[in-house]
Structure 1
């Protein structure tokens, strides 16, 4: 039950229902997730250990509000981890893997026109999960997923403008092309730009 409550709270933080800085009243969470106070308290303690919520003695818990410094540092850690396996990704990728990446990238583009922000966010995660999983190290994939949660994962903060969303879609295509060409250096370059959300 505690795992389920933890996941429910985490999900609501990630989709923005529980916004950065929002105070989390335990009685409200008990009612929202239909569970008891011990389950809510243990779930909040777990999320505090992951720095997704913060505990303030004698006041309670609030959703963690990352600062620019932390977001920048997390991006740099992701770059080190994700680009560090670019060579392994391009070596391991099969035609089937590339075809799946193309379908995931196409779904992202489709949702730009027809989907919700949350659907777009989840499509982006699916693309990156599959790309990174090609490195063959599932512990790395899990570690990157955990690190991504340390900054604002709320979809509305993922992309600041429509132009940035469109650029992300183009970068997905560039990453696929680099994998298709077995060009690890190009993949590293595009991944770095993509993670930093840099303009060309």
Structure 2
């Protein structure tokens, strides 16, 4: 993969190349080839993936934004090392916040918003079959952001989004099996069904289960 022949204005091709490199690094992280704590030397990644230095840098920055790698000033990048205690505490905070707005989500849900959630849930399912791991991650975020938006509090949506980023981007770190990914997809649909049925307690139960990845 190279930028040879790309024109300066060909940003679409550059974005696609960066996405490809990003997903290659992500797949190696999830596959255990790049272990937590591993330092990611850009020159090594260039050789490993047959790409350019700018492509590698953009890919690392993208993964750092998603808290899958960590950037240490003056040292470089390394694969994010999950902290079990922090992850558990973040899950607890998410459960408190997300179950607290379950009633508002059900109350504010309209036929159009439920339809939109079903479209996003279906997109996640389709990405399981045809997309990359990075696209799957982004489809998951899109679904949850739309779901939380129904709570009617934009600041809370931003807060929960920020809190999620305090640990390795869940649930990507748990998506090591196809069965776990498919279970997440089924849970999305069950959550929508609970909203459609006006069942606040069931939505809370499913939210806890989904966050815990049980």
- Higher relative contact order (CA closer than 8 Å, sequence separation 6+): 1
**Residue segments in structure 1 that go unaligned for 5+ positions in a row:** 1-7, 36-42
- Which of 102, 119, 144 pairs up with 1:128? 144
> Secondary structure of 1:135's partner?
coil
- Which of 189, 196, 199 pairs up with 2:205? 189
Q: How many residues align?
A: 177
**Residue segments in structure 2 that go unaligned for 5+ positions in a row:** 1-17, 30-35, 45-52
Q: Which residue of 1 aligns with 2:155?
A: 139
2:85 corresponds to 1:69: yes
- Which of 89, 111, 122 pairs up with 1:95? 111
Q: TM-score with structure 2 length normalisation?
A: 0.68
Report the aligned-residue RMSD. Answer: 3.5
> Secondary structure of 2:118's partner?
helix
Distance 1:191 1:136 in 2: 17
Distance 1:155 1:75 in 2: 11
CA contact (8 A) 2:174 2:180 kept: no
Q: TM-score with structure 1 length normalisation?
A: 0.72
- Which of 170, 174, 177 pairs up with 1:161? 177
Runs ≥4 residues deviating over 2 A = 15-28, 31-35, 52-56, 58-64
- Which of 26, 32, 46 pairs up with 1:16? 26
